[in-house]
Amino acid sequence: MRPQPIARPLTEAALFMVATVPPDLSDDIRSLLGDAEGLTKAVGFRYPHAQLSCVVGIGSALWDHLSPMLKPKQLHPFIQLHGVVRDAIATPGDLFFHIRAEELGICFELARLLQARLPPGSVIVDEVQGFRYLDQRDLLGFVDGTENPDAGEVLGVAIIGDEDSDFAGGSYATVQKYLHDLTAWNALTTEEQEQAVGRRKLDNVELDEASKPSNAHVALNNIHDDGGEELAIYRLNMPFGSLREGTNGTYFIGYAKDVSVTERMLRNMFLGDPPGNYDRLLDFSTPTTGTLFFCPSLELLQRLAGLSI
Active site residue 144: yes
Q: Is 124 helix (H, G, I), strand (E, B) or coil?
A: strand
DSSP-H helix ranges across the chain: 26-44, 60-66, 104-117, 154-158, 182-186, 190-197, 217-221, 259-270, 298-306
Which residues fall within 8 angstroms of residue 200, CB to CB, at 6 or more apart? 194, 206, 207
Q: Measure the CA–CA gap between 133 and 238, rounded to whole angstroms.
A: 8
Q: Which of 126, 144, 258, 273 is catalytic?
A: 144
Angstrom CA distances, 148 to 155, 214, 230, 268, 280, stand at 12, 21, 12, 18, 21
- What number of other Cβ atoms are within 10 A of residue 224's Cβ? 9
**Cβ atoms 172, 293 nearer than 8 A:** yes
* Strand-pair partners of 240: 249
What are the φ and ψ backbone dihedral angles of 178, each rounded to 5 degrees?
-105, 135
Q: Which residues have a catalytic role annotated?
A: 144
